[in-house]
Amino acid sequence: LEVSNGASRVSTLGFVRRELVRQQQELGKQKGVVMDGRDIGTVVFPDAELKLFLTAPPEVRAQRRFAEMQ
């Protein structure tokens, strides 16, 4: 959770975000790469060969978030 919070704050800096997207796209040129993130399939790799989206009801998501913070 600490890394996620730090990443969210740092990624608000446009120049940092652009560089991170560039680096992720470079890594993605290799075969067999799996990445996850809120915008991996929409911003970083909009034309990805395969995308998996995991969904859950809001109640389940809230329970998971609560458990993470314990």
56 in Cβ contact with 64 (< 8 Å): yes
| pTM for the predicted model, two decimal places | 0.71
pLDDT at 53 over 70: yes
Q: How many domains does the chain have?
A: 1
CA distance 48 to 27: 13
Tokens of residue 47, six digits:
């034309």
Q: If residue 44 lies in a helix (H) or strand (E), which one and from where to where?
A: none
Using one digit for the tens of pLDDT, what is the confidence trace for 20-48? Answer: 999 999 999 998 899 988 889 999 999 99
pLDDT at 1 over 60: no
CB atoms within 10 A of CB 31: 5
Residue 54 is part of which domain span?
Answer: 2-69
